[in-house]
């Protein structure tokens, strides 16, 4: 039961406050939405391609270009991180190169030691070897990102042709 404070009477009185209508607003029917395979936005689905939003489904050339651009950026990222890592390795002094070889061998023969080095590198600890390792890890992460993008591209190709 609603009560309203009556400022003249100095107390609450029964009845709804005419200044504050708290009846719920009528709900508009929610439009169906899809998380678009291409752009990733939750929008109204395309009528012919239900895995796409109406924007991507309505402009397939633009949707294909979006996919191609995403692949190109992932490939550029792999190239850049590879070049940064190899340049740093080439510029490394003999001590740093020896530490790198030890890490490289540990990956095959002592994976726990390699994992500890990776964890230290990812923690951000300052060290010339860990700086080099971070560049290598960035290259590896870019490669994994590219692999994920390529998997996504295959799924997009099923819809975009």
Give 38 or 88: the residue with its C-beta nearer to Zn ion.
38
CA distance 115 to 130: 12
CA distance 161 to 156: 8
Q: Contact, 19 vs 4, CB < 8 A?
A: no
Give 52 or 114: the residue with its C-beta nearer to Zn ion.
52
Instruction: Please choose, out of 47-55, 77-85, 123-131, 139-147, the segment that lies near Zn ion by the rule CB under 5 A.
Output: 47-55
Greatest alpha-carbon span in the chain: 91
Does 39 sit near Zn ion (CB under 5 A)?
yes
Nearest residue to 99 via CA among 124, 125, 117, 116: 117
Tell me how far, at minimum, the Cβ of 66 lies from Zn ion, in Å.
8
Select the residue interacting with Zn ion from 34, 51, 53, 117 (CB under 5 A): 53
Does 56 sit near Zn ion (CB under 5 A)?
yes
Residues that bind Zn ion (CB under 5 A): 36, 38-39, 53, 56
């Amino acid at each position: 039961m609603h009560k309203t404070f009556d400022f003249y009477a100095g107390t609450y009185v029964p009845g709804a406050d005419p200044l504050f209508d708290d009846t719920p607003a009528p709900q508009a029917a929610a439009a169906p939405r899809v998380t678009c395979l291409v752009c990733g936005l939750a929008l109204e689905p395309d009528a012919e391609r239900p895995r796409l939003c109406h924007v991507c489904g309505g402009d397939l050339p633009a949707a294909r270009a979006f996919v191609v651009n995403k692949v190109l950026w992932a490939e550029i990222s792999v190239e850049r991180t590879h070049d940064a890592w190899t340049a740093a390795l080439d510029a490394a002094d003999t001590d740093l190169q020896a530490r790198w070889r030890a890490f490289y061998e540990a990956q095959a023969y002592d994976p726990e030691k390699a994992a500890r080095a990776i964890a230290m590198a990812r923690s951000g600890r300052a060290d010339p070897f860990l700086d080099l390792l971070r560049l290598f890890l960035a290259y590896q992460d870019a490669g994994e990102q590219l692999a994920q993008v390529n998997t996504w591209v295959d799924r997009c190709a099923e819809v975009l042709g």
